[in-house]
Amino acid sequence: MREFISESAFFGTALTFFVFLFFQLIRDHFKIKTPFFNPLLFSATVIIVFLKLTGIEYSEYNLGAAHLTYWLTPMTICLAIPLYRRVRELKENLAAVIISITCGAVSHVLVLAVLSMAFKLDKVLLHSVMPKSVTTAIALGLCEKLGGIAPVTIVGVTIAGMTGAVLGPFILKIARVKEPVAQGLAIGSASHAIGTSKAMEMGELQGAMSSLAIVVTGILTVVVLQIAVMIGV
């Protein structure tokens, strides 16, 4: 059995698909509305526990799961579709969009820089987590450019995405942010594609603005990080 799994090109894909589908069906069947029951979060937890209990190496699991990872970038690009449908709202709120996403990209770096100084983190670790709020493809490219540690970057990206998907709606409610455009921009600029999946559930306009925030945040983060490194952060 172990030999079959280690040589299978589909085990990782099948395991990921069926575990996620299981929690998705549970949520839909019982009509669970709370954002804390996130199928993606529970799926990731169950798969990690399963791999630990069975002793299956991540490399063996990823042999098949990599097929899903391959589609991450084109699926992210498809998020432009709801944005196209809401281009009128984008034009009407262009100034707010530019200001909010710029502030988000800059604040990501500033907060991490302050925390790094407070906890005396090594620069390698700091550079590894700095791209946490952009998509995985961009984050890994920035990590390599900055000389960071790729696994740490992936963990940071995952935590940022999961936090936005699970806690994003709750935080927006506490902060009394009710404007759909503001909700989408906040989630997308902080939690990239994973958070955007939750924004899509909140509404098409939230999803469209979150999709836009992913793209612009990625571009601005590249620029902001380069400036931060130049000044010695």
DSSP 199-217: HHHH-HHHHHHHHHHHHHH
Where exactly are the structural domains of the chain? 2-70, 80-230
Angle CA 93–217–215, to nearest 5: 80
Residue 2's pLDDT is 63
Residue 7's pLDDT is 62
Considering only CA atoms, which of 136, 150, 6 is closest in space to residue 69?
136
Residue 6's pLDDT is 59
pTM of the entire structure?
0.82
One-letter amino acid identity for 145?
A: K
Considering only CA atoms, which of 150, 154, 152 is closest in space to residue 135?
154
Q: Are 198 and 168 in contact (CB under 8 A)?
A: yes
Distance of alpha carbon 189 from alpha carbon 196, whole angstroms: 9
What residues in the chain have per-residue pLDDT under 50? none
Residue 172's pLDDT is 93
Residue 5's pLDDT is 64
